[in-house]
Amino acid sequence: MAVKPVIDLILMNAGQLITVAGSSESPRRGKDMARIGLIEDGAVAVKDGVIVAVGITGEVLEQVDIGPGARVLDAANKVVLPGLVDPHTHLVFYGSREDEFELKVQGASYLEILKSGGGILRTVRATRRASKEDIFRSACKWLDQMISQGTTTAEVKSGYGLTLEDELKLLEIVRELDGHHSLDLVPTFMGAHAIPEEYRNNPEDYVTLVMEKMIPAVAREGLAEFCDVFCEEGVFSVDQSRRILCAAKEKGMKLKLHADEIVSLGGGELAAELGAVSADHLMAVSDEGVSQMSQKGTVAVLLPATTFCLMAKQYAPARKMIREGVPVALASDFNPGSSPVNSLQVVMGIACRQLKMTPAEVISAVTINAAHAIGRAADVGSIEKGKKADMAVFDAPTYQYLPYRFGTNLVETVIKNGRVVIGG
Q: Is 298 in the site for ligand IZC (CB under 6 A)?
A: no
- Shortest distance, position 154 Cβ to Zn ion, whole Å: 13
Q: How far is the CB of 101 from Zn ion (least distance, A)?
A: 17
Cβ neighbour number for residue 246 with a 10 Å cutoff: 13
Smallest distance from Zn ion to CB 315, Å? 16
Residue closest to ligand IZC, measured at CB: 337
Element of type H or E holding 290: helix 287-296
29, 78, 88, 90: residue in contact with ligand IZC (rule CB under 6 A): 90
Q: Which one of ligand IZC, Zn ion, none interacts with residue 228, CB within 5 to 8 A by kind?
A: none
Size of the site for ligand IZC (CB under 6 A): 10
Nearer to Zn ion, 333 or 390 (CB): 333
Please select the residue that binds ligand IZC; options are 11, 17, 120, 284, rule is CB under 6 A.
120
Q: Is 94 in the site for ligand IZC (CB under 6 A)?
A: no
Residue type, position 69, single letter: G
Least Cβ distance, residue 195 to ligand IZC (angstroms): 13
Contacts of 330 (CB under 8 A, 6+ apart): 301, 302, 303, 304, 344, 347, 348, 351, 362, 365, 366, 370
Helix axis angle, 238-250 to 267-274, nearest 10°: 20
Residue 44 CA to residue 29 CA, distance in Å, equals 26
CB of 381 to ligand IZC, least distance (A): 25
Q: Binding of ligand IZC at residue 138 (CB under 6 A)? A: no
256 touches ligand IZC (CB under 6 A): no
Q: Is 338 in the site for ligand IZC (CB under 6 A)?
A: yes
Give the CA angle between residues 361, 36, 148 to the nearest 5°. 80
Site map for Zn ion, 327-346, x if CB under 5 A? Answer: ------x-------------
When CB distances are held under 5 to 8 angstroms depending on the partner's kind, the choice from ligand IZC, Zn ion, none that residue 120 binds is ligand IZC
C-alpha to C-alpha distances, 263 to 110, 162, 258, 260, 391, nearest whole angstrom: 12, 23, 11, 6, 38
230 vs 315 by CB, closer to ligand IZC: 230
Catalogue the E-assigned strands of 90-183. Answer: 151-157
Task: Return d(Cα 119, Cα 160) in angstroms, integer.
Answer: 11
Least distance from C-beta 342 to ligand IZC, angstroms? 13
Q: Contact between 142 and ligand IZC (CB under 6 A)?
A: no
Position 367 contacts ligand IZC (CB under 6 A)? no
Contact (Cβ atoms closer than 8 angstroms) between residue 184 and residue 380 = yes
Q: Read out DSSP for 204-272?
A: HHHHHHIIIIIHHHHHHHT--SEEEEBB-TTSB-HHHHHHHHHHHHHTT-EEEEEESSSS--SHHHHHH
Return the C-alpha torsion angle 272, 274, 279, 282, nearest 10: -60
* Shortest Å distance, C-beta 117 to ligand IZC: 13
Among 187, 336, 359, 381, the residue binding ligand IZC under the rule CB under 6 A is 336
Q: Does residue 337 bind ligand IZC (CB under 6 A)?
A: yes
Binding interface with ligand IZC (CB under 6 A): 90, 119-120, 123, 230, 258, 335-338
Binding interface with Zn ion (CB under 5 A): 333
